[in-house]
Amino acid sequence: MMDMAKLAAFVLLAGLVAMAGCKDMGTGPEDSASPPPATGTVSYSRDVLPILTSYGCPGCHGGTSGLTVTSVAGLLAGGAHGAAVIPGNADGSNLIKKISPSPPFGARMPVGGPFVADSLVLVIKTWINEGAKNN
């Protein structure tokens, strides 16, 4: 039978091994994407694209229904439901409608979740309201 010191060492070692193998420590994609910038403007390449990528959007929307989310031009061009982004109008943009609860058409994206965290939806909204610049 193991003594208490050996048992404690074993439990500690097992925990460290488990944590070393778990890259995100059990968090969802919302925690691995870039956080909102503290100051300045939101950047598509630095802030928005990593959010879309962490939720698998480029895999689903690499041209599906005519929509490409891997570039600002693709978001502005849109797809079957029109422009995904309307610069200066986040609430009117289909991208925001589709990643928010109860979209006006189809299912909330990404289908089946996990859904984009509210704090990250706010980052994308800010980028759109700032003019959806290709920055």
pLDDT tens for each residue of 28-63: 454 444 455 556 799 999 999 999 999 888 767 766
Distance CA 40, CA 116 (A): 22
* 32 φ/ψ angles, rounded to the nearest 5 degrees: -95, -15
Whether the pTM exceeds 0.75: the reply is no
CB 111, CB 56: distance < 8 Å: no
CB 46, CB 21: distance < 8 Å: no
User: For residue 90, what pLDDT is reported?
Assistant: 98
Spatial CA neighbour of 96 closest among 70, 64, 59, 127: 127
